[in-house]
Amino acid sequence: ERLGIGGVSMGGEITYVAIVDEPRLCVATPILGSPEWELPWPESPHRHAERFFPVALFSQAAENDEAVPARYIRAFHEQLTPLYATAPERLRYLEYPDVGHSLSPELWETARQRMVAWVERFLRE
């Protein structure tokens, strides 16, 4: 009855589209994945912001990511903010400064721990 999803890079992009397509999802944690696809496809998750709430969404991005620009993830979270006004604790965006797509082993561990904590928090509701 309670489903969560998470992924890194392409897995993060799949996480966003899964939210659009799977109404049973209640928590999602994409890392270094973009909700805005480069090609102008109508299926791009950023075109379906209204389908995200009340999924507990925690996105992690890297400021200097050369593969998945943080600006797309940041802009999407800004777009989602008013949709989460009744439950702002269910939406979180974290951007790691001065790093690219290849996080250090220590930062990967930090990102993983944050992802697990988010899932544990909201999957139990």
- CA torsion 76-81-82-83 (nearest 10°) is 80
pTM: 0.95
Residue 1 above 80 pLDDT?
A: no
Average of per-residue pLDDT across 48-77:
97
Q: Which tens digits make up the pLDDT trace of 77-113? A: 999 999 999 999 999 999 999 999 999 999 999 999 9
Q: Give the C-alpha separation, 71 to 92, whole Å.
A: 15
Three-class SS state of 58: strand
Nearest to 15 by CA among 47, 57, 65: 57
Give CA–CA dist 36/48, Å, rounded: 10
- Of residues 123, 117, 70, the one with CA closest to residue 96: 70
Query: Which H or E run includes 62?
Result: strand 56-62
pLDDT of residue 86: 98
